[in-house]
Amino acid sequence: MHVLRFADLIGVPKTVERVGVATFKAQVAHVELAADIAAAVPGRIVLYARINRERPENVSVGLRYESDALEEFTFARANGDHGTHENPDGTVVRESHLHLPPPAALGDPVRYLRRLRWAEQMTYPPTLPDAWGTFADRLSIAPDRKLEKALRGLQHKYGQLRM
């Protein structure tokens, strides 16, 4: 039996299967859009994209893994500019960053991860379409027009920077 490893989850080609409708999250502070992801792995992968209504540069795009054997957990998450992040080795990344399982764990069989302690510095502007573009490249998710249109719509509706 093939053992599913973190590197498999990250590298397996993925396509967007079904895009949901935008819903309020954490009452009305955030808006979330979720989509089912198809990939040749056991279990289920769900994508979520969120934007903070009062701080629209505070976006996040993540992939959650769900299976019968494990508690569901996020295995990759891109954040916009919510401030700094400190890695376990003490390095600090600022502004946009991408949380992933630590490099040393990529060859390990998939297990429940309570926290994504490791993050890489990213350079995308903190908007949902930009975060998605970088995230999709890094996580091997094929472009999807419907999702991209929905994310642009969310950014336009809720993400106008107040100056």
> Which residues sit at the interface with another protein, rule CB under 8 A?
25-30, 50, 52, 54-55, 57-58, 60, 62, 68-74, 77, 79, 82-88, 99, 109, 112, 114-119, 161-163
Q: Which is nearer to another protein, 55 or 138 (CB)?
A: 55
Pairing of strands 92-94, 84-86: antiparallel
* Euclidean distance between CA atoms 68 and 15, whole angstroms: 22
Q: Which is nearer to another protein, 14 or 77 (CB)?
A: 77
Cβ contact 51:23 at 8 Å: no
Q: Which is nearer to another protein, 83 or 145 (CB)?
A: 83
Q: Which is nearer to another protein, 13 or 107 (CB)?
A: 107
User: Shortest gap between Cβ of 153 and another protein (angstroms)?
Assistant: 20
User: Shortest gap between Cβ of 117 and another protein (angstroms)?
Assistant: 5
Return the structure tokens found at 55.
Answer: 């701080």
Return the structure tokens found at 56.
Answer: 């629209």
Cβ contact 119:93 at 8 Å: yes
